[in-house]
Amino acid sequence: MKTVRLNDGNTIPAVGFGVFMIPNNGPTYQATLEALKVGYRHIDTAAAYMNESDVGKAVKDSGLKREEVFITSKLWLQDFGYENAKKAIDTSLKFLGMDYMDMYLLHQPYSDVLGAWKALEEAKKAGKIKTIGVSNMTPKIWNKFIPQFDTLPAVNQVECNPFFQQRELRKILDPLNVKIEAWYPLGHGNTELLNNPTITQLAQKYGKNAGQIILRFEVQDGLIILPKSTNPQRIKGNLDIFDFELTGEEMQTLRGLDTGKGSHDPDAPGVGEHLLSAYKIHD
């Protein structure tokens, strides 16, 4: 498994198993256990996914040592602000049944971002979180908040796939050595993407499926990726991308698929308010 060194000196496996929208009390436990069994060592959950406890149980039951698995969770908007965030970090640790998280992210860049970030910085100093980062920050949002942060985030987890390659954001993050983590790295199963002829031709050439070509392209292009699947064969296959290499020319051709547009626009007016009212994770 390829690992990536972050700007705080920690390392993270380049492929993580994402558990967004997998229900708690069984399905997330099974999927995470399966993922760990076939070799994933990085699990990406969030308070708002409501499945941290299944992730924690699966890690415990996997037989792996805690330090062998990289666990990310995220602070939900409802718990932004300094005091709320401090409590929410402890709640995530409790649900996970762990005494530290490898990484904790601000899930969405709205409301009291500065207070929430301060709580993450303090939790890092206290050893509750090893690495801190942000999510869903466009160039505009990044430029608004980051100059006010004391600590530079290690990652920005954003939507990213061959149709939406985040080139503008990468121009800002690359010189700072802030890594992009890609959510929806397969375009959320977008059939137009999975059936794109450039991708299917490469799949044929390398004896891989289209998903594996997409994921290989992304990792080779320096991204940390979080493919999601509940299908055991695909869970395993999505990790099987390290026995071939795309040529420089193929990488350039794939870079040409970028349309600059994704499914979610964090800059759109009212997004923060909408998310906050749509997802309540506690009273």
Q: Which residues are catalytic?
A: 49
Nearer to ligand A2P, 109 or 185 (CB): 185
Joined together, the tokens standing for residue 110 give 């709205």
Nearer to ligand A2P, 12 or 93 (CB): 12
Q: How far is the CB of 193 from ligand A2P (least distance, A)?
A: 9
- Could you give the C-alpha distances from 110 to 131, 191, 217, 260, 266, in angstroms and in order? 21, 32, 31, 23, 9
Q: How far is the CB of 185 from ligand A2P (least distance, A)?
A: 5
Nearer to ligand A2P, 10 or 236 (CB): 236
- Summarize as ranges the residues that interact with ligand A2P (CB under 6 A): 184-189, 194, 209, 211-212, 227-231, 234, 237-238
Nearer to ligand A2P, 196 or 212 (CB): 212
- Alpha helix ranges (H) inside 4-112: 27-37, 52-61, 82-96
What angle in degrees, to the nearest 10, is found between the helix axes of 113-125 and 82-96? 50
Q: How far is the CB of 226 from ligand A2P (least distance, A)?
A: 7
d(CA 272, CA 110) in angstroms, rounded, equals 5
Q: How far is the CB of 184 from ligand A2P (least distance, A)?
A: 4
Nearer to ligand A2P, 29 or 80 (CB): 29
d(CA 263, CA 187) in angstroms, rounded, equals 9
Q: How far is the CB of 212 from ligand A2P (least distance, A)?
A: 6
d(CA 163, CA 217) in angstroms, rounded, equals 12
- Identify whether the C-beta of residue 223 lies closer than 8 Å to the C-beta of residue 160: yes
Q: E strand or H helix at 131, and its extent?
A: strand 129-135
In the complex, residue closest to ligand A2P by CB: 211
- Identify whether the C-beta of residue 246 lies closer than 8 Å to the C-beta of residue 254: yes
Q: What is the dihedral of CA 199, 159, 170, 112, to 10 degrees?
A: 180
d(CA 89, CA 254) in angstroms, rounded, equals 39
Nearer to ligand A2P, 43 or 146 (CB): 43
Q: How far is the CB of 1 from ligand A2P (least distance, A)?
A: 17
Task: Give Cβ neighbours of residue 125 (< 8 Å, ≥ 6 apart).
Answer: none
> Which one-letter DSSP state was computed for residue 178?
P
